[in-house]
Chain A
């Protein structure tokens, strides 16, 4: 009995039970929707359970590492990530017209995934180093650290990941105290550079934006996804069509229904009531993450926690936004619910860091 208690204590020592509960509930919702979205395909569901277990183990491991050690990893991780990205640009495998994967002999990896964690870590580390003397040049330095990998990812091209990484980096900049004047300047500069961006964009990217503005322009091509997912959500109504009863999902009108568009399946079958509950669950998890962030003791932990929290939120917003037809279609999964191992691991790795911040003794910097 005492042994079990000891083991339990050992296992949960660095877990934040509030956050863990929220994550597990969302995962359970994810499995229920996935079962319906795959047409009761148990093998897909058990695959996803394995993905979740692996991700939970990763989270547990990370949560057990004190932040000082994680901090030491920031620079090497960033450099390795950057080298791999350059490797992709030079020797990457082309898949569906994009060069995103790198074959490193044993397996194929997608270095941009690694950068989703490495960049906020690196930037938080960078600001932590320059904590006392934060000047404009330090923000410029951080921006360079951000833009190098982002440009490499844009070249692949992978607009969705580039935007998400830029967002995660920008959150660090913002939380580190980037002056309002510069933010205003950036906004104006961004608006001014839109036409430039438009001209250097790939055709498929332009098409996606045009399709967002008017999906009916191309109902069988690029607009098909948006039209079908909007129909699925709208036809769900207030109470939804019921689990496994969504016609859009069950009769395969929805594209990518177990991955990027799984929210449409959920929304069609559980209606506005389901959406309300899901948004609420996400909001609770985000709120808990915000509390952890607010209580973090060092510049590094604050910045990394804030960035992870806001990036988590960004995934949710961009995914739901694109599925419901108010944002262009970028390949962003719905955190903790979409099918897929990589994003699950990345996401829980972030939560692991948050738990580590919350549960390790808060050291005052000396």
Chain B
């Protein structure tokens, strides 16, 4: 039975089996076809897409940060330079407990409390995945020590960086300013200006001063390197390289020697000095005392130094020359005198009797002259030489505030000069329209009287005063004051001069100018308010002293220097230019809380002139230089 069934069924079974096997063969072919279609899709239709993805996988683009341009004074002395150094940097996101890691780190490498404070401040201001410096300028020994302990500190690395340095520190800090780490606001700003790409890899950006205002020139163009990397991010080889273009070097019009001379002349006193070349507007010296060590800001300033600087009563961070506003005091008078002549309100010959005070018609109030009892008969010449207040009280009353505002406004007082660093303030040259819009009050005749001698609402910056002095010195030419004289292409070495820019010329009658300028020369001669400062000068210099009141003196009271808090004492002012017949330098000096211009401000101008015109160093500097020459000689013996 069994055999029978088998014999009968066997061919049928085999046939059935082979049929099923054929189905399986079709199944195999169909699925292979599906695979093939998939391969065709990936490797032919989408090849380009996947090729791009594969390239993006293996190629990473890393920025090549350009070296920042250097800054020199007009004689090629370095004011901002770069140096290479190794820094120890921390990536906070890779570290669990930063404080304890730093403790461990401090056991092998010196980390001062200042370093730590600075780091903590940075940490607060930065994103966690940024690399933040904890120490810079590592020594060879420190590098070796860290290298052997490196495995203990994941997330901490030694990096070779090009760092900024300001060798002159406080002497030029208010000119140069500083760079500091790029923060969120900087990033937003860069994004708005579509410059973010050029800052990939850059850590610093100019924050203030030349470093800020010439950021575009100094930064340079970031280069890029295409690097083949493996899946773990290790670089295998460089595929292509677009080198960075270093930033341009700046050559300032500042004469560092002059700047130092002016600094020395100030000594420990606070104040400001701006010296311009009247022939082109170049800024020769730009002093704001006290300065500060701008190196402190580069890597991020620590809390202690910051509060020291920020809370100091001397306000070293305040750029007095650019942003300090002071009543111009009697330095306002030469401009008043010119207004009187130009507008025909006074003749040179006109004279008046000065009883020591002035009163408006029908008003009891007396406006006192600085000299009790007055100066006797005073004409325009004498009014400048002895700085007679009464003459100007009466003149101002005849001119009226709006004539004063319109005429003197041409000398740039109460306006930004447009100097090539940011942050300038405008000060104030009052007018009736201004008072109406500011206080909703009409202008009173009494308001004009104090304006006449540079007090009242008058506020000017030392820079504006220097600018106005320059315009008198060069007979009416308003040059744009500027700090950068030349730009040097750091690749080709080509130097491009920035020509002086004449903003406008005032059409002043030569005779009127001559009258005023002659009077200014006599200010520095015997009988003038600045006579002492000019004794034995081998050149003629012209100037005008001023005293800028810090607090108002009540009617019937006298200003008594000794009885007033030092910080409330008057500021000494002096504007001057020299040589008078062919001015090469025009300046304004402000010395805070030291009384009259003739006694403290004018001698500073004298020392600056001596250095600039005669090459003579201020005495303190001379002594120091002799010392160093002696040392030098010793070295060679």
Contact = CB atoms under 8 A, between A and B. Distances in A.
A272 interface: yes
Given A231-B54, A237-B51, A252-B230, A272 B39 contact: yes
Contacts of B35: 279, 317, 320-321, 324
Interface string B9-49: 10001001110110011001001101110111011101101
Most chain B CB within 10 A, of A231, A252, A283, is at A231
Interface string B355-388: 0000000000000000000000000000000000
B43 A251 contact: no
A149 B21 CA distance: 26
A89 interface: no
Contact of B47 (A228, A237, A324, A325): A237
B42 A234 contact: yes
Contact of A233 (B5, B25, B42): B42
Contact of A294 (B2, B16, B21, B42): B21
Interface stretch (A10-18, A48-56, A169-177): A169-177
Contacts of B196: none
Given A299-B13, A317-B32, A326-B38, A234 B49 contact: yes
Contacts of A234: 42-43, 46-47, 49-51, 53-54
Contacts of A171: 24
A324 B38 contact: yes
Contacts of A161: none
A282 B35 CA distance: 13
A233 B51 CA distance: 9
Contacts of B189: none
B54 A175 contact: no
A96 to B, nearest CB: 21
B436 to A, nearest CB: 67
Given A132-B2, A233-B42, A324-B39, A248 B28 contact: no
Interface residues of B, number: 40
Contact of A251 (B32, B47, B236): B236
Contacts of A294: 18, 21
A271 B50 CA distance: 13
Nearest to A171: B24
A247 interface: yes
A273 B520 CA distance: 96
Interface in A265-279: 267, 271-272, 275-276, 279
Interface string A228-241: 10111111111000
Contacts of B28: 283, 286, 310, 313
Interface in B561-590: none
The SS class assigned to the A binding surface is: helix
Interface string A286-307: 1100100110000100100010
A72 to B, nearest CB: 21
Contacts of B25: 287, 290
A132 B6 contact: yes
A230 B16 contact: no
A252 B6 contact: no
A267 B5 CA distance: 53
A313 B29 CA distance: 10
A36 to B, nearest CB: 15
B523 to A, nearest CB: 79
A137 interface: no
Nearest to A326: B38
B73 interface: no
A323 B308 CA distance: 65
Contacts of B40: 272
A275 B43 contact: yes
B50 A230 contact: yes
B231 interface: yes
B6 A365 contact: yes
B415 to A, nearest CB: 60
Interface of B: 2, 5-6, 9, 13, 16-18, 20-21, 24-25, 28, 31-32, 34-36, 38-40, 42-44, 46-47, 49-51, 53-55, 57-58, 228-232, 236
15 contacts: A132-B6, A132-B9, A231-B50, A233-B39, A234-B54, A235-B53, A267-B43, A272-B44, A275-B43, A276-B36, A283-B28, A283-B32, A290-B24, A290-B25, A326-B34
